[in-house]
């Protein structure tokens, strides 16, 4: 086999004999050069891949490693019965790499069509941003529509998952829930208040991107995504709907400007319903104006008017100078000229018991009671019932109201304060004050969260609270100012209020706030409600006529929904002691159409 064995047959001249070894020697040179070069290359590869790899890897990482957020869904907001009030739905945002899209600009019309935009406009937009790598074409498209766009297969068009908030109950719960912005952060209402809880923490992942910006590989999770936590509200969607509907009807009926309804659970301070009008559609916030978006029940201030009288009465009973039946108060013919000011009632009620002052809503009586009370006691009672303080409900933009410090009160102010002028409260504060009376003088912090643990505070003794509630029952009884607020088979305790609206430089003569605050069933109050209707222009403006029926209708439904047993079953029997005007006996009009107190023209001394 050896090729060295040269045979005689093939060997020729000496010259040729030398050819073999000569070629071999030369081959050694060639092989040597090649081997050296190969070794050099291998050494170079070793140098790149083992010795100095870090530098090249760092350079590479700088080019294609990116940290990307991992979108998390926002927590769902449920009502107290587990009905969803705000849900996050996955949406697709379409984005593009302009340069890549412009390369195939013949596809732009198709793209524009599927996006629902003008082709020329789209092209202009892309051309303007041609030096960027990322441009949103359309945010938050429904997934099917987005898929249709992606199915066009246009190079450079990509999608990105996002979440959009959807509010199934729309404008009904709009004010309580608020809304989120396009980046899924709460902007108003509870969405804002509990943003941290709901939003969760978007995770972060390190990804490898190709040069076109497409993610090709997830390398590692930098931060774990924490999806938003769910929130169960104290709101009862059914009662909320009820309140909203009745409020809306009343606004139409009385051509009122705006209105609020607040329903609290008397035992816990939970907000069961809070409806405001005008409202907006939280699913399309863009079309609304700020005045529509205000949660009037918490941000707007009003003078409580006569609805303050039960609180005054609480102070009066606490002072020991008054009991529900004594002393008798002479309302002096319906007018009391006090310090040059005419405090007057709608009628001349003659001599009234303290209960009568509540029943008939006598301003003169209330002023007399106020003047007999120690200012600190009266101030402290008002303050204790939460006026002038935020309720700490945690709702963004909640107003604290205004209650001036008692030692600054001048006598006239004090008298006026007795029937609800000269201080500002929010509807929620008013509801909370009534809830305190309803729950035996124990105040709870109003809350929107189901089962929230608030620290109850005893404000007044249960006896006094019970007495005041008892006095308020007469308001809806025949002869009271709010027989329209009666509910069949339930005793309603409440108080009307009709206040002149404050306007620039005084009080407006013909603009009123019609209010009704009350609780049911009065024998063991479960629900507290406040109905405020602002500036009713047609038919009536008295709290008893405008807000009372709203209260009655909402509460009637709420009591039924909550299975609250009736406490006034006597009305089932014909000729029972408290026959409802619209109750079981028939639909004869109320025989007692008493009118509410005519508010004073000018309360500012």
Partner 1 sequence: MFGFGTSQAVKRQGPRGSFDLPLLVALVGLASIGVVMVASSSIAVADSQHIGAFYYLKKHVFYLGMGLVLAGMAMRTELKLFEKHAFLLLLAAFILLLAVFVPHLGMRINGARRWLNLIALSFQPVEAVKLILVVYMASYLVRHRESIETRFLGLIKPLIVAGGIVGLLLLQPDFGSAMLVIAVTIAMVWLGGARPVFLFLMGLPLMPALVIAATSESYRMKRLTSFMDPWKDPFNDGFQLTQSLMAIGRGEWTGVGLGSSVLKLSYLPEAHTDFILAVIGEELGLAGILLVVGLFALAVGRGLYLGLKGVEVGQRFAGYVAFGLSLMLGLQAMVSIGVNLGALPTKGLTLPLISSGGSSVLLTCAMAGVLLRATFEINRALDARHMATRMPALAVPDANAAVAPREREAVAA
Q: Which of 73, 306, 318, 393 is catalytic?
A: 306
Gyration radius of the chain's alpha carbons: 39
1 binds partner 1 (CB under 8 A): yes
Fill in the per-residue mask, 34 to 73: x = in contact with partner 1 (CB under 8 A), - = not in contact: x--xx-xxx-xxx-xxx-xx-xxx-xx--xx---------
Interface pick for partner 1 out of 105, 210, 255, 342 (rule CB under 8 A): 210
Residue with tokens 């449920």, as numbered in its chain: 78
Q: Which stretch binds partner 1 (CB under 8 A): 29-37, 129-137, 471-479, 483-491?
A: 29-37
How far apart are CB 82 and partner 1 at their closest, in Å?
Answer: 47
Task: Please give the biggest Cα pair distance in the chain.
Answer: 158
26 binds partner 1 (CB under 8 A): yes
Interface pick for partner 1 out of 102, 108, 208, 452 (rule CB under 8 A): 208
568 vs 577: CA distance, rounded Å: 10
17 binds partner 1 (CB under 8 A): no
Nearer to partner 1, 34 or 182 (CB): 34
32 binds partner 1 (CB under 8 A): no
Nearer to partner 1, 103 or 602 (CB): 103
HEC sequence for 335-396: EEEECCEEEECCCCCCEECHHHHHHHCCHHHHHHHHHHCCHHHHHHHHHHCCCCCCCCCCCC
How far apart are CB 108 and partner 1 at their closest, in Å?
Answer: 16
Nearer to partner 1, 120 or 216 (CB): 216
How far apart are CB 101 and partner 1 at their closest, in Å?
Answer: 12
Question: DSSP readout, 529-584?
Answer: EEEEEE---SS---HHHHHHHHHHHHHHHHHHHTTPPPS-GGGGSTT-SS--TTST
Which of the 8 DSSP states describes residue 107? G
223 binds partner 1 (CB under 8 A): no
**Site residues for partner 1, window 309-368 (CB under 8 A)?**
none
Told to judge if 306 belongs to the known catalytic residues of this protein, a careful annotator would answer yes
Nearer to partner 1, 19 or 182 (CB): 19
Element (H, E) at 251: helix 237-254
Could you list the beta-strand ranges (E) of 240-322: 258-265, 271-277
131 binds partner 1 (CB under 8 A): no
96 vs 118: CA distance, rounded Å: 16
Question: DSSP readout, 453-473?
Answer: ----EE-S-HHHHHHHHHHHH
Contact of 155 with 101, CB cutoff 8 Å? yes
5 binds partner 1 (CB under 8 A): yes
Nearer to partner 1, 153 or 575 (CB): 153
How far apart are CB 295 and partner 1 at their closest, in Å?
Answer: 52
φ/ψ region of 116 (left if φ > 0, alpha if ψ in -120 to 50, else beta) reads left
3-state secondary structure of 409: coil
Contact of 596 with 548, CB cutoff 8 Å? no
Q: How many residues bind partner 1 (CB under 8 A)?
A: 47
Nearer to partner 1, 7 or 510 (CB): 7
How far apart are CB 213 and partner 1 at their closest, in Å?
Answer: 10
3-state secondary structure of 308: helix
φ/ψ region of 59 (left if φ > 0, alpha if ψ in -120 to 50, else beta) reads alpha
Nearer to partner 1, 212 or 402 (CB): 212
How far apart are CB 13 and partner 1 at their closest, in Å?
Answer: 10
How far apart are CB 282 and partner 1 at their closest, in Å?
Answer: 42
How far apart are CB 144 and partner 1 at their closest, in Å?
Answer: 24
- Cβ neighbors of 389 (< 8 A, separation 6 or more) are 383, 400, 401
Nearer to partner 1, 30 or 584 (CB): 30
Interface pick for partner 1 out of 144, 211, 407, 453 (rule CB under 8 A): 211
Q: How many residues does the chain have?
A: 605
Strand partners, 449: 233
Residues designated catalytic: 306
Give me the residues that bind partner 1 (CB under 8 A), please. Answer: 1, 3, 5-7, 9-10, 12, 19-20, 22-24, 26-27, 29-31, 34, 37-38, 40-42, 44-46, 48-50, 52-53, 55-57, 59-60, 63-64, 153, 155, 208, 210-212, 216-217
């Amino acid at each position: 086999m050896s090729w060295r064995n040269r045979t005689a047959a093939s060997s020729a001249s000496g010259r040729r004999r030398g050819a073999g070894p000569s070629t071999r020697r030369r081959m050694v040179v060639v092989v040597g050069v090649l081997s050296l070069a190969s070794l050099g290359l291998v050494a170079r590869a070793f140098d790149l891949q083992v010795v100095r790899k870090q530098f090249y890897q760092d350079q590479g990482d700088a080019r294609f490693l990116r940290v990307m957020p991992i979108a998390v869904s926002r927590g769902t907001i449920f009502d107290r019965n587990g009905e969803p009030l705000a849900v996050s739905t996955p949406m697709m945002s379409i984005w593009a790499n302009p340069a890549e899209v412009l390369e195939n600009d013949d596809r732009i019309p198709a793209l524009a069509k599927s996006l629902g935009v003008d082709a020329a406009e789209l092209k202009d937009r892309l051309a303007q941003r041609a030096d960027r790598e990322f441009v949103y074409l359309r945010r938050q498209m429904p997934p099917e529509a987005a898929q249709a766009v992606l199915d066009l297969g246009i190079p450079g068009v990509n999608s990105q998952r996002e979440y959009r908030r959807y509010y199934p109950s729309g404008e009904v719960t709009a004010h309580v829930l608020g809304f989120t912005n396009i980046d899924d952060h709460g902007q108003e209402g509870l969405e804002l208040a509990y943003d941290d809880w709901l939003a969760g923490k978007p995770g972060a992942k390190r990804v490898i991107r190709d040069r076109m910006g497409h993610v090709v590989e997830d390398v590692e999770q930098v931060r774990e995504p924490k999806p938003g936590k769910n929130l169960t509200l104290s709101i009862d969607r059914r009662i909320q709907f009820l309140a909203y509907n009745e409020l809306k009807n009343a606004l139409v009926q009385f051509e009122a400007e705006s209105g609020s309804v607040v329903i609290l659970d008397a035992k816990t301070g939970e907000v069961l319903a809070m409806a405001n009008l005008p409202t907006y559609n939280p699913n399309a916030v863009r079309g609304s104006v700020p005045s529509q978006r205000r949660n009037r029940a918490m941000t707007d201030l009003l003078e409580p008017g006569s609805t303050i009288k039960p609180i005054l009465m609480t102070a009066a009973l606490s002072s020991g100078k008054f009991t529900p039946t004594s002393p008798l108060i002479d309302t002096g013919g319906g007018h009391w000229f006090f310090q040059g000011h005419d405090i007057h009632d709608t009628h001349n009620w003659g001599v009234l018991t303290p209960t009568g002052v509540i029943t008939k809503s006598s301003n003169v009586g209330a002023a007399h009671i106020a003047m007999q009370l120690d200012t600190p006691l009266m101030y402290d009672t008002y303050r204790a019932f939460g006026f002038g303080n935020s309720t700490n409900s945690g709702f963004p933009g909640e107003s604290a109201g205004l209650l001036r410090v008692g030692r600054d009160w001048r006598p006239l102010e004090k008298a006026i304060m007795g029937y609800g002028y000269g201080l500002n409260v929010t509807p929620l504060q008013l509801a909370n004050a009534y809830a305190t009376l309803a729950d035996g003088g124990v105040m709870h912090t109003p809350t929107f969260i189901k089962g929230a643990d608030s620290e109850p505070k005893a404000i007044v003794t249960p006896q006094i609270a019970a007495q005041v509630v008892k006095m308020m029952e007469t308001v809806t009884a025949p002869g009271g100012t709010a027989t329209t607020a009666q509910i069949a088979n339930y005793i309603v305790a409440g108080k009307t209020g009709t206040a002149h609206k404050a306007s620039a430089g005084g009080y407006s003569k013909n603009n009123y706030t019609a209010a009704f605050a009350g609780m049911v069933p009065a024998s063991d109050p479960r629900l507290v409600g406040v109905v405020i209707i602002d500036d009713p222009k047609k038919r009536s403006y008295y709290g008893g006529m405008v807000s009372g029926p709203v209260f009655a209708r909402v509460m009637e439904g709420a009591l039924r929904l909550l299975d609250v047993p009736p406490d006034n079953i006597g009305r089932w029997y014909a000729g029972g002691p408290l026959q409802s005007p619209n109750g079981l006996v028939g639909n004869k009009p109320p025989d007692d159409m008493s009118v509410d107190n005519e508010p004073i023209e000018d309360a500012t001394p």
